[in-house]
Structure 1
Amino acid sequence: MAREEADKFLKARDRTLSAFKEDGEQEWKGPFYFVQGADPQFGLMKAYAIGDCGSDGDEWEEELKLTQQAVRAINRLNPKPKFFVLCGDLIHGMPGTPWREAQIRDLKSVLQEIDPEIPLVFVSGNHDLGNTPTLETTENYCQQWGDDYFSFWVGGTFFLVLNSQLYFDASQCPGLKQAQDEWLNGQLAVAEEKKCKHAIVFQHIPLFLREPEEDHDYFNLEPSIRRELLEKFCKAGVKAVFSGHFHRNAGGFYKGLDMVVSSAIGCQLGEDTHGIRLVAVTAEKIVHKYYSLNELSKSQEMGEELRALLKPN
């Protein structure tokens, strides 16, 4: 892969995103929007069809086509989004499984077609790192997709990308979790001190699916960790957390914090359709809507509700 092509996937370095210059992005410049997707997960649809989601998924033509459709729809959006963030489970093959490298290669081939003026932001998921990540699997992810956690500014809004797998099971890499915890505390202090217009978090695993006090299962974080993060986020003024992992749309609120769970570009585990979410950031609020890929493919403009928010007064 040529240097410029490789750099497209490695914008997150030294715990920030080189696509945006911090000094020029800390000031509010007016409304903007970005695109959030999750779980293209090349290989899951075949595994799900045969009733074995734990298998590697030796066929991913359908996911490839869906991701191509998403890329085409994003490229046609007018005005252009500030960035496109993928909230984890980029591919289905776990670390060390046979089809993993081919799935990564094919996903990168599709994402290479994104308009070069729309930066890509990658969030690590459990299939990217393993359900129990290690130093080795984390380093491998970082070599392929950039840092597993980092922050960046866009138009006066402070964005934090987290490795949620370290909050799910860090038993094989406690030092990595401690390092992220210390980094996160420092970043949340920055959010508080700088009094940014908004602070937004991206992570793969939701804090909760519908209720802050719900029971713990595979699709959310354990209650004590969840409460700790929620309190930290609220104290620092975080307005929203965007995630995937559930392969269905869900979400709820905690003290004004919007927990947004977006369904998948790839395999659906519920009644939702393959899609992506458009998120408008205004001076007063953060507004978002999930669109099916077919809806977006039929229009060269974003949803009327979100488009109206971006118009100057």
Structure 2
Amino acid sequence: MTSTAPRLLVTGGAGFIGSAYVRMLLGPEGPGDIAVTVLDKLTYAGSLGNLEPLLGDPRLEFVRGDVCAPGLVGRLAAGHDGIVHFAAESHVDRSIDGGTGFARTNALGTQTLLDAAVRHGVRTFVHVSTDEVYGSIDRGSWTEDQPLAPNSPYAASKAAADLLVLAAHRTHGLDARITRCSNNYGPRQFPEKIVPLFVTRLLDGHDVPLYGDGACVRDWLHVDDHCRGIELVRTQGRPGRAYHLGGGTELTNEELTGLLLDACGAGRERVRHVPDRKGHDRRYSLDWTRARDELGYRPRTGFAAGLAATVAWYRENRSWWEPLPR
């Protein structure tokens, strides 16, 4: 790793969104003069294969480790100018089965990073959060000033992390910024989330499980647009502020399922309705005016094209997902 380039610590950088961000940073769209350290525990959803195109690049260093380990986190923070924090347990269903790991990684892990950032004078801390911290909204869209009202253990653990980040800014003057995004999709997403789960099951000839009446509404954002938004927040955002990063395509789960069936050449008989998730939020919707007006954020990837490319990636990369549990 070069010694003169700005040094950025990316936690969870071997996961779906974190690895996309690292690939962007070190690719043609990136700032060029930057060195990146990825800290990742390589749990079930993280893989070095997500960074394979970059392994061996002198600008990238990989460290396997836990964000809850103060000694390791402190040593890494001391050598970096900024931290972008993706590392999290993120699947709602898993959090309903047991929330302890979510509280540990998402809240305690974030506090461990914040303590190290304050102690070692890290210049900028970007915390990657989620629209789920707000709960559910029947109509309209949340602004960043909406009170947090999470409903799932996952969302509650992320809301706790958000509050800890803001507390570090207000108490210690840490230059901390928060991003809250809508539902992501794209290549290399672990097949427990609806898009990769349904695509991989349909490609294998299996049925897909649709929760309840399928009427829950989500806004969809391509992972590459999300990563570009995070980089705008890192480089141009204001300390102590949250920024919404939305996609602009709201669909019910029923509508999304229909699009995935069509993309995979499958019929409606492949849909199996299952009991609804406990505490299932009915609708999420972000107002991303702040990111648009302050930072120039705008999604570039149209949903139809982005979804088609995503399905094509899973079709062409069976070796990536076939060994994974679904």
The two structures have a TM-score, normalised by structure 2, of 0.37
Query: Whose radius of gyration is greater, 1 or 2?
Result: 2
Higher helix share: 2
Higher RCO, 1 vs 2 (CA within 8 Å, ≥6 residues apart): 1
With the length of structure 1 as denominator, give the TM-score of the two structures. 0.38
